[in-house]
């Protein structure tokens, strides 16, 4: 009995020490995050400061903050202050390339950029949905991009296809991106719209060649959008620099219709 008491008295402080060590590994409280948010808001306001040096300092600091600054910067892109919105656009592009998922094929880096929340418009109105396939040349070869060959897929939370359309259109008059050198970027823009009709919620997307796809009778909820790009051949010989030929399926993005 005496031996059991001695063992307990020795072990108990050790257990307390282990408990204290485990607690020291926990994440810090959310107070720091709140302070960071306040700092980010002030920095965004400084993007429009009268002093050019303060604007540049704010740009540098926001780029250092990185991912945590993205959501406030998305909002700042829509501000009426032209200086702030333009600088927010530049920062979003720079930060997203660094922190968001991407895929690389044959020296080209691809990334899907799409708004995560799709607000339901008022009856008879429609909201624009920005959908971009951003492409960055990270290799040494100079390429042009043919902005066709986009495939759009929208699935519901169960994984069932709601919309699946697109692909190469060989009959259209080809046009290309400027020659892309190393670290230069190009975006294939899709014009998406979410429209509220009587008893009907409709999503449409149009590519660079005015080809339109759509789906009706959508409901509020969670969806996943996936963009893939495939260019199987060169469509001309008068290019400055060869056309990039290949294909990639981007990371799918979760979106919320609410």
Q: Where residue 199 falls among pLDDT bands split at 50, 70, 90?
A: confident
**193 compared with 4, residue with greater pLDDT:** 193
pLDDT digits (tens, 9 = 90+) for 51-81: 999 999 999 999 999 989 988 998 898 899 9
pLDDT digits (tens, 9 = 90+) for 150-192: 899 999 988 899 999 876 555 555 688 899 999 999 999 999 9
Question: What is the spatial distance between Cα 91 and Cα 38, in angstroms, rounded to a whole number?
Answer: 18
Question: What is the spatial distance between Cα 253 and Cα 214, in angstroms, rounded to a whole number?
Answer: 18
Taking only Cα atoms into account, the Rg of the chain, rounded to an integer number of angstroms, comes to 25
**Per-domain boundaries in the chain:** 32-99, 103-257
Q: Is the model's pLDDT at 22 over the cut of 60?
A: no
Per DSSP bridges, beta strands 108-114 and 126-137 are: antiparallel
Q: Give the count of beta carbons closer than 10 Å to the beta carbon of residue 186.
A: 19
Question: What is the spatial distance between Cα 203 and Cα 126, in angstroms, rounded to a whole number?
Answer: 9
- DSSP at 59: H
Q: Is the model's pLDDT at 27 over the cut of 70?
A: no
Q: What is the distance of C-alpha 223 from the center of its chain? A: 15
Question: What is the spatial distance between Cα 82 and Cα 109, in angstroms, rounded to a whole number?
Answer: 30
Give the CA distances from residue 49 to residues 36, 57, 76, 83, 182, in Å, rounded to whole numbers and listed in that order. 20, 10, 14, 9, 33
Class level of CATH domain 103-257: mainly beta
CATH number of 32-99: 1.25.10
Q: Where residue 99 falls among pLDDT bands split at 50, 70, 90?
A: confident
Q: Which of 64, 34, 57, 58 is nearest to 44 (CA)?
A: 58
Question: What is the spatial distance between Cα 109 and Cα 102, in angstroms, rounded to a whole number?
Answer: 6
pLDDT digits (tens, 9 = 90+) for 30-55: 334 445 889 999 999 999 999 999 99
pLDDT digits (tens, 9 = 90+) for 101-128: 889 998 999 999 888 899 999 999 999 9
Predicted TM-score of the model (pTM): 0.72
């Amino acid at each position: 009995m005496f031996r059991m008491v001695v063992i307990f008295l020795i072990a108990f402080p050790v257990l307390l020490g282990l408990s204290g060590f485990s607690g020291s590994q926990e994440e810090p409280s959310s107070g720091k995050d709140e302070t960071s948010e306040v700092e980010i808001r002030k920095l965004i306001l400084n993007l429009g400061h009268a002093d050019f040096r303060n604007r540049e300092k704010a740009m540098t600091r926001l780029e250092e903050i990185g991912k945590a600054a993205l959501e406030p910067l998305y909002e700042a892109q829509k501000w009426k202050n032209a200086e702030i919105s333009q600088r927010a656009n530049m920062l979003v592009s720079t930060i997203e390339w660094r922190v968001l998922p991407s895929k690389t094929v044959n020296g080209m880096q691809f990334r899907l950029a799409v708004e995560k929340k799709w607000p339901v418009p008022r009856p008879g109105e429609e909201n624009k949905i920005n959908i971009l396939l951003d492409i960055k040349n990270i290799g040494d070869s100079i390429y042009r991009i043919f902005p066709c060959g986009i495939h759009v897929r929208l699935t519901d939370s169960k994984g069932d296809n709601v919309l699946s359309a697109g692909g190469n259109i060989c009959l259209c008059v080809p046009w290309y991106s400027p020659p892309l050198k190393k670290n230069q970027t190009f975006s294939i823009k899709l014009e998406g719209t979410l429209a509220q009709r009587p008893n009907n919620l409709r999503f449409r997307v149009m590519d660079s060649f005015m080809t339109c796809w759509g789906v009706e009778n959508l409901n509020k909820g969670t969806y996943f959008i996936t963009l893939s790009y495939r260019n199987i051949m060169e469509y001309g010989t008068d290019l400055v620099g060869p056309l990039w030929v290949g294909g990639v399926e981007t990371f799918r993005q979760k979106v919320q219709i609410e």
